[in-house]
Amino acid sequence: MRIAGLFHYPVKSLRGLAVDELTLEARGPRHDREWMVVDSNGRFLTQRTTPRMASLTARLRTGQLELSDDLGAVLLVEPTSTSSRDVTVWRDTVTATDCGDAAATWLTARLGQPCRLVRMPDSTIRPVDPKYSPRPDAHTTFADAYPVLLTNAASLDDLNTNLPAPLGMERFRANVVISGAPAWAEDEWRAVTLGSITFDLVKPCARCVVITTDQRTGEQPNGSAPLSTLARLRTLQPFGAIFGQNAVHRSTGTLRVGDELHVVTTQPRPSYRALEQ
């Protein structure tokens, strides 16, 4: 078993980037979901309500954030100002720095609603839910809840046998994709090592409408089928439709494509609806 793919998302809910390595810092992969788009009330925007976010790309260029669309328009975001504001991601309200009017104008024009780009400074600490955190100091960026999301390529292969059209793993917006494991083996993993880093798998990942969105176009070509099928086969109470595992790393370091995975501890497989049918 080894790492087959690594993915990085500088701006929450914009298109992901395949990378050869990820450097893990205290709050997760370096610069992953460090930026976020917020509405006029400072509340986070995602593909759940704004699927066209998938048609925009963010990447780092020599320390600067570059935004681009599929028509070739590019914006280099200037270093963040000293202007701070409170923003909300799910139930958490944290302090962020505003990225300025140019970024706000660029994103507003492409997303069709007033919005601004913000960045989480190093001074902001957003703790992981203590109900699932393996340690009291675990924290993350603007990710939904946890520093790392791990998925299994064989599990997607199995899911695709039940879908009218196969999905790519990009629909599930993972950081780490594993190959060489049996389908759904990740359900039983409690802790694993990837390369030299140990991870606690703390909570199954509940999926939402985002998996229905094509991550190149922002469209939903298969309607609700990907989510409704997953819900029929893989519902776990009280979470919902499950695919992948949220993980918290025990140390910093670098992950590379090809690094081996070793299972440290296991747990009984949960009772998913229709898992064995």
Residue 82 CA, distance from chain mean position: 27
Inside any domain, residue 271: no
DSSP letters along 41-96, please?
TSBB--TTT-GGGGG-EEEEETTEEEEE-TTS-EEEEPPP-S-EEEEEETTEEEEE
Domain end: 94, 111, 127, which one? 127
Inside any domain, residue 276: no
Which tokens belong to 252?
């910093």
Q: How many Cβ atoms from other residues are within 10 Å of residue 82's Cβ?
A: 6
Q: What is the pLDDT of residue 222?
A: 85
Q: What is the pLDDT of residue 77?
A: 95
Residues 64 and 174 in one domain: no
pLDDT digits (tens, 9 = 90+) for 209-232: 999 999 999 999 988 999 999 999
In the predicted structure, residue 174 carries a pLDDT above the cut 50: yes
Residue 257: CATH number of its domain: 2.40.33.20
Q: What is the mean pLDDT of residues 233-252?
A: 95
Place of tokens 């997607």: 156
Q: What is the mean pLDDT of residues 18-41?
A: 97
**Percent of the chain scored above 70 by pLDDT?**
98
pLDDT digits (tens, 9 = 90+) for 55-106: 999 999 887 999 999 999 999 997 766 799 999 999 999 999 999 999 999 9
**Length of the chain (residues):** 277
Burial tier of 64 (Cβ tally within 10 Å: 0-12, 13-18, 19+): exposed
What average pLDDT is seen over the chain? Answer: 95
Domain end: 79, 107, 127, which one? 127
Question: What is the C-alpha to C-alpha distance for residues 115 and 121, in angstroms, rounded to an integer?
Answer: 19
Residues 18 and 42 in one domain: no
Residues 81 and 185 in one domain: no
DSSP letters along 121-154, please?
-TT--EEPPTTT-SSTT-EESSSSSSSEEEEEHH
Between 62 and 267, the higher pLDDT residue? 267
Residue 117 — very low, low, confident or very high, per pLDDT cuts 50/70/90? very high
Residues 122 and 165 in one domain: no
Q: What is the pLDDT of residue 276?
A: 45
Residues 167 and 221 in one domain: yes
Question: What is the C-alpha to C-alpha distance for residues 277 and 271, in angstroms, rounded to an integer?
Answer: 12
DSSP one-letter code for 2: E
Q: Which amino acid is at 152?
A: N
pLDDT digits (tens, 9 = 90+) for 36-53: 999 999 999 999 999 999
In the predicted structure, residue 277 carries a pLDDT above the cut 70: no
Question: What is the C-alpha to C-alpha distance for residues 178 and 150, in angstroms, rounded to an integer?
Answer: 7
Helical axes 225-233 vs 153-160, angle rounded to 10°: 100
Q: Residue 173: name the closest of 1, 42, 47 by CA.
A: 47
Domain end: 84, 111, 127, which one? 127
Structural domain count of the chain: 2
pLDDT digits (tens, 9 = 90+) for 182-208: 999 999 999 999 999 999 999 999 999
Query: How far from each other are the two terminal CA atoms of the chain, in whole angstroms?
Result: 26
Q: What is the pLDDT of residue 205?
A: 97
Domain that holds residue 123: 32-127
Place of tokens 């049918």: 277
Residues 258 and 208 in one domain: yes
Question: Is residue 122 a contact partner of residue 94, using CB atoms and an 8 Å limit?
Answer: no
Inside any domain, residue 68: yes
Inside any domain, residue 277: no
Inside any domain, residue 274: no
**Percent of the chain scored above 90 by pLDDT?**
88
